[in-house]
Amino acid sequence: MRFDILTIFPDLLASPLTEGIIRRAIQDGKVEIAIHNIRDFAADKHAMTDDRPFGGGEGMVMKPEPLAATVQHVREQVPGGKVVLLSPQGRTYDQALAQELASEPRLILVCGRYEGVDERFRDHYVDLEVSIGDYILTGGELAALVLVDSIIRLLPGVLGCADSAANDTFSRGGLKYPQYTRPRVFEGDEVPEVLCSGDHAAVSEWRLLAAVRQTLNRRPELLATMAFNSQEEKLLKKHGLLDAVRERQRGARSE
C-alpha cells in the first residue's frame, strides 16, 4: 500500500514515520510513504500557499492552485489514488473507516491548515473528507499520522501476531478485555486465576465477559455495534449480562 502525504510542514511527519511498526512495514516492502511539500508547487516567488478569504473574516485559507498542482504531480508519478482531506468537517474516523481505507491500494492524504482549504479544491479533487474527532488541531499532519498508523496495522503481515488486529479494541465494536502480565501479584492484586489455568475455552469465555463488562462500564454506547452469536448470548445470559446489553442496544436503535 502507498501513502502520499501533502503538507506545508514536511518535517512534522519525518520522525514518526521512521519508528516502530511503520518503519518495519516500510523496510519489509509492505508500505510506501512519500511526503510532498505543497510549497514546492506554489506559482509565486514567495511560495505562498494561503491567502485572505474573500468576503473578509479571520485567518487565512489554503489556495487551490498549489494543492491541485501537488495532487496532479503525485498522480503523474503514480496514477490513481483516493484523495483524502483531513478536516474537522469530514466523516468521523473510526475502526470501520480504517478497515475500509486499508483496502485501498493508495491514499493521498491532504493536510489542511489555517481556516481550511478553498472550496473549489474540495469540489474538484477531494474524494473523501475525514475528521479524527470533534476538536480543532493546528493542522492535518497529526490526523494524517493517525490514519497512517491505524491503517498500516490492519495490513496483512504487518503485525507480529496475525490475531492482534482482529482482537483489538473496536475490532468487534466494543472495548477489549483487560490485560495482565508478570508479576502474578502486584501491590496485592493477583492476576485472575483463569488466565493462568491453561484452559483455553475458559480463558475465551472470561475474556468475552470481561470485554462486555468493560464496555458496559466505560463506553456503553459502543454496545450498539456489538454482535453476539447464540453461544455467546447464552454465556452472557448465564452471567446476568444479556439483559443489560440488549437494553443498551434497544436504546441506541430508538435514538
How far is it, in rounded angstroms, from Cα 64 to Cα 247?
49
Could you give the residue ranges of the DSSP H alpha helices within the chain?
A: 11-14, 20-27, 64-77, 95-102, 119-125, 141-152, 200-218, 230-238, 242-254
**Residue type for 42, please?**
A
CB 81 within 8 A of CB 26: no
How far is it, in rounded angstroms, from Cα 204 to Cα 167?
12
C-alpha cell read off for 182: 508478570
Residues carrying an active site annotation: 88, 115, 153, 168
Residue whose cell numbers read 495482565: 180
How far is it, in rounded angstroms, from Cα 141 to Cα 213?
36
- On the 0-12 / 13-18 / 19+ scale of CB atoms within 10 A, 171 is middle
